[in-house]
Structure 1
């Protein structure tokens, strides 16, 4: 892989550069919140750990159920307008978090936030893709992901001194800072120029648009991508718990593994995304992501074998590197395939359906990894490797089915009398 120049990390168009800056602002705000959320829930809202888990679990289900209807609204009102509304919605939700007390209020606000946050990802993809030409779309999305990773880290660093102050108002200041970041990004979005017109292409209601979705091939691709997206839960939950429970690895190594993941993602996401720009490159990237996850699971199973703490640490480090490559390939392949197979007049619905795979794994993934995989010991990781292998093998036939159906899907739908596009 040829080392890219610094120029490769800058979007080619003014719109792409503006959107990357908007993504950085969003990511810094999100990083602020993620670094302090657990403490905020306990110290400011007054919740127990169990109450936090219940509230977030319920909100996760709400986010899953509302993603596609909001995506359909994006088709009706325009992706850019919808994304601006979602950013303001999120800002209002975070501001409201500073006012709630108790589990009921927390759950209600969390549900409202989850609905907006789950829909933000597909709307972001739709707007970002419309901001740049198709030839530069994959590289721009890779740059945006790189910028987001850097922003998360910067936000966490900014939260550190506020957390150290350990006062109610500094916790609230962190959450209000997140709200301010979303208001700022909404304002920046209003000035963003996009290549394709931000207008409705199919004037149907959100619920009606959801009811019309019948593309089982695209749904199957979304499910396969969701399975491969389990790398998110493995990194945040599976790897650290497995390291502490099944190996002699020093606990101090765990932040280093997270740092390795972040640095590799920032440095290598752009050059890895370049491979998806060739014909068949997106499907190949998704398959490579699956292979990397298979090897990662095998390495995690093997990590419990070495008696030496540092030998186990070396195996875990290898697993972390494999997981990071799996994450980068999966993200690249998923972006490109999800957009390529989404009809022009239903981008919001299709991209929202595709995002459900990731949302589902965030709901099911923690319990699956902790109770089933880790609970079964090394055999659990081998079983998960088999699941990843099956998902990887299915990528090729599913994408072939989508290609075969593409000409029929590309035909414009008949326009009812009296409705003008």
Structure 2
């Protein structure tokens, strides 16, 4: 939900005055396919940013719910709502064409504070035209990512932000994030500068092309952004739509309530695996780790929760990932060791997490149970992570530790509900971050 505190008139005056200095435009910063940013071309663009929201890009696919990724867009305007976990007096967006087959042309783009907690309307007076290298339109090459220039938009922590893209040309299949648990909106024609939402008559629960929102303003500690990396449990599967009830949201709120606020960004992908790629469920974790974690602005800590799909897809009879390899505990641990090395090579603190109980779910079986137990024992006792969070213990049913506690179960015995995601946030020793 948006912050209940709004900037003072004086602060807004400072922000508006700063816009004059920004009209010359800031250098667009591009990214290679691996997410590494090219050097900025002027001093202001090189000033520090922090990731305040993120979503991991995926290949166009049918996904779990109807979406627009395979058909793409043509003479339409796309409006997407996200919630930032850090504030500032300037903002920029990161756009990804990582899985596009051709260049992506953005005719125009805007950013604004959302009117209310959800919906396609934006707060009047807050809408800002985005520029890219000083220009209002930009082409994102296939396989690459671009950042906008800074926009003089004041944001408070936990503000909802609306990003609008004018897609005047045929895009072809769209790079997207399948499961947003937030509503995105589409209108025919050019409505990029609308403050009202009446034209946006179509909706979906996915994000398209939008990979991040970064903020800049008051000096912040270096490397203080926390990245949560994982699969559907990190992504927030079964959490309440448009209510920001993922465990990443709950952790950011807990840090703020404790007087130690830090940006918390979500790098989960539903169905993702440590060891294998999937057209539906994203590149394997070791492939996407640099793009989705270590190259994020100001990233300093990563919490890794992943492995249930590696061990569970071989137990389920669903055809979403077949044939599924039978993965051993040793193979899964070796995959996590690669992630640990990748994080430390970039100077990040790396926190591991035990796998949640999966008894009664379609991922459960004799082999999955044995591998889960062995893996969790390694996380707790090996000392290879800098610290760990014991989600297995925190969410287990005291009457049957193989299962999630009923009060935390979304109903599929695999994913937590809103209360379960809050319990995950409570399980974290904030000092370990």
Q: TM-score range by the shorter chain?
A: under 0.3
Q: More helix per residue: 1 or 2?
A: 1
Q: Using structure 1 for the length normalisation, give the TM-score.
A: 0.24
Q: Using structure 2 for the length normalisation, give the TM-score.
A: 0.24
Q: More strand per residue: 1 or 2?
A: 2
